[in-house]
Structure 1
């Protein structure tokens, strides 16, 4: 940590011949550039533009850390910014896992942004992130996850019994509740897990099925299962953030909303062409009946929510308060639209 802090301080406060050295941040993400990382790319672009290249971000797709180790890397100052998903290490970011509860009711990416950013401002979330020397900048909003698979479609709860599924966090718990066998391999490992038969199905948002190739193995996709999604924040190392000059910090913070809007616009284009992607790849679009969806919600939604609140409360977190904040924000967001 000391060496990183020394380097950053030097970059911000010292100079040769009286000229300050430019600020350069390393950013750890994974996979390849895709809809899931467009806000990070846009943020880097805006920051560089607004500072005439004096504040830049080097975005690394897997070269700095494994996906499940990004929060650890942030905590020790191995890099200044990173993306991580709560379901990869639920014990390290317990508070935000409320957003991964199944059937929580978020329907749009805009709603996902609203509830995530409201939750990130809660003192319990900030305190937990501070334990990792991390500060959350913004979310990576994703639509409801759905399954791809091979063979006969898993379109009933009975057919999901014994199903080996790549699903993390609350989604994994939801599938477990109906007899599924979840595994939480990281996104880059999902294709191989599916190809080798380690899993029968993979739960992803649309962009990930494309980016990680699972759609290329699939024969079917559930169009309306919509059990929930995962929460994947963009965080910065607290020391690095605080060592920015006032101007640099203002540039960074003021670029977040535009970066999120760019992400939303880009994702909307992907969703608009999704049916064409399915047709092109010969993937059957499977609709789950209302009766089966109702049964899934009954088994998974209430019981898993209640268990989460009980477990997190026992660990000293204001779990009911966090859940209520998410629901209240969701209702407020809908009322204002």
Structure 2
């Protein structure tokens, strides 16, 4: 951001008087996009928990597109236009290069619990905190998503070569991965994906299951790749640093202590959606495509090593510890699994 002008930020604390007694009431505005869905349930849960813990003194107003466009949420945080926001790293990798390590293809993350662990390990890294600090943003929690898979129109692919020439909605590292097998990635936002697919701007879309439902790409799909699993997108929840530091000790404690419970609620809720996924495919008559282990290994070989090495090289050239960030992800996975 360089020397981006930071506007004066008004405290989100108003004094309310009840029966002659004064107490500090904190009201935060939260910016996300689309509509309420599995991807945003932890926002609603943390708002509920914080309000309960503070006896209604700390409340959050969650806005779906009314405060900012999804690609501009980090900018809004930087100037204090709102106190909390959700965004995805792949929407603007140049603004948040450190956390794009979490979008590299074939990282080896197998579960949502592992996705939470690696995300928060990176969020806790000094390089990531410095990176987001340029935007006056404090990383609070992740929005864990399963491995992305693809829905598309036309003949279903059965081997990697079938992606050659396809126009696919895939951002960040996923886009780079599909490029290696001849596809042409485009980074249209989630809210633009349905129209892009309907109009033929893209013929396939890479999303997690909740997004295929929420943004209705599943309604246009002829097929779904059940096991390609090339990676996922990382979408943090951040808070404006000045607003966070301006909280009373009690309100800050209520917020911090609610993160783990909000994530646990998110994971349980997302699990229910995954349980229903097979039925949804059958109901909508979407063909489920499974790739052979040989094809998946070929994809990983093409996409993973070269993309990872180039990412590390690019980061190191910017003075960012790319190798250390990548190693942090791998160490976290090993620690979780108890492997050496």
Shift of 1:47: 0.6
- Pairwise mapping of residues 234-253 of structure 1 onto structure 2 (< 5 A)? 234-253=237-256
Shift of 1:21: 4.3
Q: Which residue of 2 aligns with 1:119?
A: 122
Q: Which residue of 1 aligns with 2:106?
A: 103
Q: Which residue of 1 aligns with 2:64?
A: 61
Q: Render the CA deviation track for 1:104-132: whole Å, top value 9, x for unaligned.
A: 10000000000010111100000011000
Q: Which residue of 1 aligns with 2:306?
A: 303
Shift of 1:235: 0.2
Aligned counterparts of 2:286 and 2:311: Cα–Cα separation in 1 = 35
Q: Render the CA deviation track for 1:255-306: whole Å, top value 9, x for unaligned.
A: 0000000000000111111100100111111101112111111110000000
| Structure 2 stretches lacking a partner, 5+ long | 1-5
Shift of 1:334: 1.4
Q: Which residue of 2 aligns with 1:163?
A: 166
Q: Render the CA deviation track for 1:28-79: whole Å, top value 9, x for unaligned.
A: 0111110000100100000111111110000001111111100000001000
Structure 1 counterpart SS, 2:247: coil
Q: Which residue of 1 aligns with 2:198?
A: 195
Q: CA RMSD in A?
A: 1.2
Shift of 1:155: 2.7
Residues 31 and 64 in structure 2, CA contact (< 8 A), matched pair in contact too: yes
Aligned counterparts of 1:296 and 1:4: Cα–Cα separation in 2 = 48
Q: Which residue of 2 aligns with 1:132?
A: 135
Residues 87 and 97 in structure 1, CA contact (< 8 A), matched pair in contact too: yes
TM-score under structure 1 length normalisation:
0.96
Q: Which residue of 1 aligns with 2:48?
A: 45
Q: Which residue of 2 aligns with 1:217?
A: 220
Residues 102 and 171 in structure 1, CA contact (< 8 A), matched pair in contact too: yes
Aligned counterparts of 2:45 and 2:338: Cα–Cα separation in 1 = 30
Aligned counterparts of 2:207 and 2:71: Cα–Cα separation in 1 = 17
Structure 2 counterpart SS, 1:273: helix
TM-score under structure 2 length normalisation:
0.95
| Greater share of helix | 1
Change (3 A) 1:91 1:49: same
- Pair 1:74 & 2:110 matched: no
Residues 104 and 231 in structure 2, CA contact (< 8 A), matched pair in contact too: yes
Residues 97 and 169 in structure 1, CA contact (< 8 A), matched pair in contact too: yes
Residues 155 and 222 in structure 1, CA contact (< 8 A), matched pair in contact too: no
Aligned counterparts of 2:128 and 2:314: Cα–Cα separation in 1 = 16
Q: Render the CA deviation track for 1:156-185: whole Å, top value 9, x for unaligned.
A: 221111110000000000001111100001
Aligned counterparts of 1:260 and 1:272: Cα–Cα separation in 2 = 18
Residues 16 and 25 in structure 2, CA contact (< 8 A), matched pair in contact too: no
Residues 25 and 57 in structure 1, CA contact (< 8 A), matched pair in contact too: yes
Aligned length: 332
Match of 1:269 among 269, 272, 281: 272
| Structure 1 stretches lacking a partner, 5+ long | none
Shift of 1:153: 1.0
Aligned counterparts of 2:336 and 2:288: Cα–Cα separation in 1 = 30
More divergent stretch after superposition (87-96 vs 153-162): 153-162
Shift of 1:209: 0.2
Shift of 1:229: 0.1
Aligned counterparts of 1:263 and 1:201: Cα–Cα separation in 2 = 27
- Pair 1:281 & 2:284 matched: yes
Shift of 1:15: 5.3
Residues 58 and 251 in structure 2, CA contact (< 8 A), matched pair in contact too: yes
Aligned counterparts of 1:334 and 1:148: Cα–Cα separation in 2 = 31
